[in-house]
Chain A
Amino acid sequence: KQEVTQIPAALSVPEGENLVLNCSFTDSAIYNLQWFRQDPGKGLTSLLLIQSSQREQTSGRLNASLDKSSGRSTLYIAASQPGDSATYLCAVNRNTDKLIFGTGTRLQVFP
């Protein structure tokens, strides 16, 4: 059974810091992995999608890497801003099937 874990569970940092959020999964047989952002009481916004054949994806200040063999993905946020404050979720997609979500990292960036 696929299990997805995210570390840390919560993070509070001053504005401007570079951040690394971690995601690990137990079954390396995945089709792709997605990183999402969720603001309080809101739905999910897709940030980055990495196919199993890819090593990383970049969008603006965000960079996500994938090491499928070791069951790990990291989301790197450069020069963090207060507007980055949200919960970040990773999810793995097994063979185009349902997404299995991680436990989430609650990020707070203070001015």
Chain B
Amino acid sequence: GAVVSQHPSRVICKSGTSVKIECRSLDFQATTMFWYRQFPKQSLMLMATSNEGSKATYEQGVEKDKFLINHASLTLSTLTVTSAHPEDSSFYICSARDGRTYEQYFGPGTRLTVT
């Protein structure tokens, strides 16, 4: 089956620093990737849609200057949390959409803790 990886799986950073999270589709090409965040015991909330070679589309209420998304190739998208604050602490999950079936495959998630 299709595999999506995320790196790192867990990161702790100090308030004010920036953190980059990578999302890779390992055995298929993904023209579209999605970034979600999930707070404890809550469902996934879509943050932005990342399209290869173009600007990301952000959901309402998500600051594009704070959550920078780059989708430079068909297998890699990155999310950079800039000037992180404790309220940015969350579980960030990416998904990659198979261009043939439109099924989404999810990464294992990245636990971000901002101290």
* Chain A contacts to B: CB under 8 angstroms: 31-32, 34, 36, 41-46, 49, 89, 93, 96, 98-104
Contact = CB atoms under 8 A, between A and B. Distances in A.
B63 interface: no
Contacts of A101: 43-45
Given A44-B93, A89-B44, A101-B44, A31 B111 contact: no
Contacts of A36: 106
Interface in B20-75: 34, 43-46, 49
Contacts of B46: 98-100
A43 B108 contact: yes
State the majority secondary structure of interface residues on A: strand
Contacts of B102: 31-32, 93, 96
Contacts of B101: 49
State the majority secondary structure of interface residues on B: strand
A85 B103 CA distance: 24
B80 interface: no
Contacts of B105: 46
B79 to A, nearest CB: 14
Contacts of A96: 102
A46 B104 contact: yes
A34 B103 contact: yes
A-B interface, 9 closest residue pairs, ranked by CB to CB distance from nearest: A44-B106, A43-B108, A43-B109, A101-B43, A43-B106, A96-B102, A101-B44, A104-B43, A49-B103
